[in-house]
Amino acid sequence: MDFKRIAVDTSKAVFTVHGIDEQDRPLLRRNFSRPAFEAFCVGLPPTEVVLEACGGSHHWGRRLSAMGHRVRLIPPQYVKPFVKRGKNDRNDAEAISEAAGRPGMTEVAVKPAERQAAAMVLSVRELLVRNRTQAINALRGHAAEFGVIAAKGTAQVAPLLERIAADTQIPEPARQMLAFLARQVTHLDEEIATLDAQLRKAAASDAIARRLSAAPGIGPLSAITLSLTVDPSQFESGRHFAAWLGMVPRECSTGGKQRLGGISRAGNERLRQLLVVGAMAVIRHAKPGSKSASPWLLKLLERRPRKVAAVALANKMARVVWATLLKVPPDRLRSGGMPEEGMMARGEDYRRLPVMA
């Protein structure tokens, strides 16, 4: 049986397959177990196989590509509008097939196993940071129940523990539990420091991360995160990259009238957070004569709040990461002086813009 396209709704144990012919008529709607699905794909002639981009999709993308199939990964948010009333696995698989048939549908590149493994340290570090935040909040909250108050932040943990030790009114059971939480925070601090050292070492040995670290507001953590999680071939320009990060206004326009709101916050939340935090670091030291403060930024800070300026600067940083003026012919420059390709796409170093008289 020849198929034009096979769409698969995946799960841990059940794989729902929706196959269509050249006239887009359904030929196969069937559930497979995990071993049966793999055996089914082995027996298929080379076919287009479409899956939702999720945690296990990259594994199956690599396995199916090795079998000779053409694999496409569709973002789940683009599949959802095609789901019919009455959600179930078969309707989900049909929606994946419908979305894949739309011209110009955005796809996610299948990650190599080595790249996916290298990026795991970033996810593990985020998990540890969240656990540390929860432990610190629990420590502050329980201490407040006995009248011991502390400000927010990891730097306030040590003073809080000193006040707890000095307060003789705290009952012993509570003192033991507070000490237990303090040990958890200390342990998580040590684990996060170990991962930070590993990431700094990886950033120092990664050519792309070293180039990105030269840009203002981009440190080793941001640089290695960008290097491991961003595929520059997926973006046409720096503006496209900034829009993918969600640092452009949300649009709700109709009737020829343009209505722009706050930033869309689409795309990778972690990358957007790192760039905004880096922009705030640049703004914190922005003053006339500073190497990292351009005239554009100083004028922006005169008329906009700092956090609004930080988002605008983060947008600019994303485009600078992508696009640099070095060795780009004038006819390839976009409006605003930004080239279509840049450090990640062309392997170039960051160069500061000359100060205009």
- Read off the pTM: 0.80
Residue with tokens 């939702």: 52
Ramachandran bin of 107, using left for φ above 0, alpha for ψ from -120 to 50, beta for the remaining angles: beta
- The pLDDT tens digits for 62-103 are 999 999 999 999 999 999 999 988 889 999 999 999 999 999
Residue with tokens 């880096």: 278
> Does residue 206 contact residue 227 with C-beta atoms inside 8 Å?
yes
Ramachandran bin of 267, using left for φ above 0, alpha for ψ from -120 to 50, beta for the remaining angles: left
* Position 322, amino acid: W
pLDDT tens sequence for the chain (357 residues): 789 999 999 988 999 999 999 999 999 999 999 999 999 999 999 999 999 998 889 999 999 999 999 999 999 999 999 998 888 999 999 999 999 999 989 899 999 999 899 999 999 999 999 999 999 999 999 999 999 998 888 999 999 999 999 999 999 999 999 999 999 999 999 999 999 999 999 999 988 888 888 888 899 999 999 988 888 777 888 888 888 899 988 888 888 888 888 888 888 889 999 999 999 999 988 888 777 678 888 889 999 999 999 999 999 988 888 764 333 333 443 433 344 445 565 555 666 654 433
> Does residue 23 contact residue 5 with C-beta atoms inside 8 Å?
no
